[in-house]
């Protein structure tokens, strides 16, 4: 069976777990001690030179890092239900939404997290308060933008559930639980989207 190196509560491995659940694929989850530095050992750096999870390990020992690369691999193994797009235009549209989410919202929430109290208490990175505040402000702006977009479509990339919704729900729930950055209740279209996505069995099966 394929192994997934993961850590409970970590948003990136959760993306892969939900994606695999949608596909009906079983993964053997290997919990790593993220706090204890297990991802920075030379053995783990051999699996992923970035020292991060998730990593998918195939039965022959081949290791694949990066959530989206892993999801693309799983989509190729199990094409249905389609989550990355069915024709050239839809595939590109999903990719555009997903890339902006990763390069912008992930980065903003990441800055608020890395410079926030939990990471500081763990003594991992010297926090820079200005970066935390900047990340927080930009994340809130991005939430408002998503809310606006979701007034005219039910899911992030259009009429149907895709990989972009999986990434977004993992990120937003992590931000709410660990970064004190839940979307404001006044963002009603974003709240309705969240309800639609969080009630899916795949999301329920892998809680934040
Ligand atoms: N772009 C990577 C991000 C992976 C990532 O940041 N993983 C976090 C856990 S959610 C991690 O391993 N953090 C430990 C560290 O940065 O040392 C992906 O999508 O897989």
Please give the pLDDT value at position 121: 87
Rounded Cα–Cα distance for residues 50 and 40 (Å): 8
C-alpha R_g of the chain? 17
* pLDDT tens digits along 92-113: 999 999 999 999 999 999 999 9
Question: Which residues sit opposite 30 in a β-bridge?
Answer: 5
What is the whole-number distance in angstroms between the Cα of residue 10 and the centre of ligand 1? 8
What is the whole-number distance in angstroms between the Cα of residue 195 and the centre of ligand 1? 26
pTM: 0.97
**Contact 1/27 with Cβ under 8 angstroms?**
yes
What is the whole-number distance in angstroms between the Cα of residue 87 and the centre of ligand 1? 30
**Of 55, 52, 161, 151, the residue nearest 106 (C-alpha):** 52
Rounded Cα–Cα distance for residues 111 and 128 (Å): 9
Give nearest CA residue, ligand 1 atom 1: 66
Q: Is 54 in the pocket of ligand 1 (CB under 6 A)?
A: yes
Tell me which DSSP letter residue 155 carries. Answer: B
Rounded Cα–Cα distance for residues 208 and 193 (Å): 17
Q: Where are the domains of the chain?
A: 3-77, 88-201
Rounded Cα–Cα distance for residues 74 and 8 (Å): 21
Q: Which CATH number fits domain 88-201: 1.20.1050.10, 1.10.8.10, 3.40.190.10, 3.40.50.2020?
A: 1.20.1050.10
Give nearest CA residue, ligand 1 atom 2: 66
Give nearest CA residue, ligand 1 atom 14: 52
Name the architecture of domain 3-77. 3-Layer(aba) Sandwich (3.40)
Positions of the chain with pLDDT under 70: none
């Amino acid at each position: 069976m394929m192994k997934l190196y993961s850590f409970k509560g970590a948003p990136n491995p959760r993306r892969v777990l939900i994606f695999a659940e949608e596909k009906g694929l079983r993964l053997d989850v290997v919990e790593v001690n993220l706090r204890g530095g297990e991802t920075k050992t030379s053995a783990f750096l051999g699996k992923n030179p970035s020292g991060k999870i998730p990593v998918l390990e195939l039965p022959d020992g081949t290791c694949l890092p990066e959530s989206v690369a892993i999801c693309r691999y799983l989509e190729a193994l199990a094409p249905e239900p389609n989550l990355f797009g069915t024709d050239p235009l839809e595939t590109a549209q999903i990719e555009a939404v997903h890339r902006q989410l990763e390069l912008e919202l992930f980065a903003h929430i990441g800055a608020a997290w890395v410079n926030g109290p939990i990471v500081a208490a763990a003594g991992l990175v010297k926090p820079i308060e200005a970066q935390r505040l900047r990340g927080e402000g930009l994340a809130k702006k991005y939430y408002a933008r998503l809310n606006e977009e979701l007034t005219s479509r039910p899911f992030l990339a259009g009429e149907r559930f895709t990989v972009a919704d999986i990434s977004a729900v993992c990120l937003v729930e992590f931000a709410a639980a660990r970064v004190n950055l839940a979307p404001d209740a006044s963002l009603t279209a974003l709240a309705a989207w969240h309800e639609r996505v969080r009630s899916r069995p795949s999301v329920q099966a892998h809680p934040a």
